[in-house]
Amino acid sequence: MRAVEISQPGGPDVLRLAEVPNPAPQANEIVVKVAAAGVNRPDVLQRMGHYPVPPDASPLPGLEIAGEVADAGSAVKLWKRGDKICALANGGGYAEYCAVPETQALPVPKNLSMIEAASLPETFFTVWSNVYDRGRLAPGETLLVQGGTSGIGVTAIQMATATGNRVFASAGSDEKVAACVRLGAERAFNYKTQDWVAEARAATGGKGVNVILDMVGGDYVPRELKCLAEEGRLVFIAYLRGPRSELDIDALMRKRLTVTGSTLRPRSTEFKGYIARNLREKIWPLIEAGRIKPQVYKTFPLAQAAEAHRLMESSQHIGKIVLTL
């Protein structure tokens, strides 16, 4: 089959189209004929040599796919050949065929194309796990999404709005701020020209926000502690401005704050299956009702994976980037 390999750690040009063996399913896996594959920040980190591949995962990049079930392992019970699914992959998505654990797959939501469906799994699994499980976002609470027009950002804004929460977001241009509001954010702040801490506190009557979803880290952390309400939760999923920061322990204690975070790829198949069940029960109906809509910014054919990564690294996109086969 055709697949994109990482020839060596480095820039986008190390992504090479190659002929590799088709994957064979383990007992609990399905093999999917891939129609489209999402592009995500972890793919970029893996390409650069900064995101280790789990021992049992494909070394090929790609963590989310949509397509048709082509083969199934001996113990598979949830799917049959010909089913149209989207799935969180442990790796190997940039290819014509990809093996995934059956519990990490979900049906393609009604009325969505394969390209739209391929843009869902990685960000939806991540947002559910971090905003709702670790961040414990409750009905009526407020959420601040840092980087509101990223793939994670557009998902978090829409999901939290659809579940009845007040949502605020930060973004790096007036165009992106407007996009956040179109997606459902009550307010969005241009972090280059506005004091987002003061703006968020003013919007909450001085109380601060209940949950912050952060992929920035670094020097944002002290400001985020000031932005949180009492009993607030700060949840990290990345650190684009660096992994280290000063922590005001006094503020942490006085406001009884929680600081947490996670990475999804190393987690167990059982854990990912648990998220998939929650998404199917609580979020998929909202997608099928049109209350959450996939935001695909641009597509590239598989052979142009390097161009897709260049766009990802430019941060010019609003929403998801998808490879098509």
Three-class DSSP category at 144: strand
Is residue 134 within 8 A of residue 277, CB to CB? The reply is: no
Q: Are residues 135 and 250 in the same domain?
A: yes
Residue 101 domain flag: yes
Residue 268 domain flag: no
Q: Are residues 132 and 256 in the same domain?
A: yes
Distance, CA of 4 to CA of 215 (rounded, Å): 27
Q: Are residues 97 and 170 in the same domain?
A: no
Distance, CA of 185 to CA of 168 (rounded, Å): 5
Q: Are residues 135 and 192 in the same domain?
A: yes
What is the tally of structural domains in the chain?
2
Distance, CA of 25 to CA of 228 (rounded, Å): 46
Three-class DSSP category at 296: strand
Distance, CA of 76 to CA of 273 (rounded, Å): 14
Q: Are residues 320 and 203 in the same domain?
A: no
Q: Are residues 20 and 40 in the same domain?
A: yes
Q: Are residues 105 and 9 in the same domain?
A: yes
Q: Are residues 193 and 235 in the same domain?
A: yes
Provide the residue range defining the domain that includes 153: 124-261
Q: Are residues 319 and 212 in the same domain?
A: no
Q: Are residues 192 and 236 in the same domain?
A: yes
Residue 284 domain flag: no
Three-class DSSP category at 118: helix
DSSP alpha helices (H): ranges in the chain? 41-48, 114-118, 121-127, 151-162, 174-183, 196-203, 220-227, 249-254, 269-278, 284-288, 305-314
Per-residue pLDDT at 62 = 98
Distance, CA of 39 to CA of 46 (rounded, Å): 12
Distance, CA of 242 to CA of 297 (rounded, Å): 27
| CA nearest to 160, candidates 195, 123, 189 | 123
Q: How far is CA 99 from CA 26, 95, 297, in A?
A: 8, 10, 26
Residue 210 domain flag: yes
Per-residue model confidence as pLDDT tens digits over 217-269? 999 999 999 999 999 999 999 998 999 999 999 999 999 999 999 999 999 99
Per-residue pLDDT at 240 = 87
Please give the model's pTM, rounded to 2 decimal places: 0.95
Averaged pLDDT in 10-residue chunks for the chain of 325 residues: 98 98 97 98 96 92 98 98 98 98 98 98 98 97 96 97 98 97 98 97 98 96 97 96 93 97 94 98 97 97 98 95 98
Per-residue pLDDT at 264 = 92
Per-residue pLDDT at 185 = 98
Q: Are residues 85 and 141 in the same domain?
A: no
Q: Are residues 32 and 97 in the same domain?
A: yes
Tokens read off for 74: 């001996």
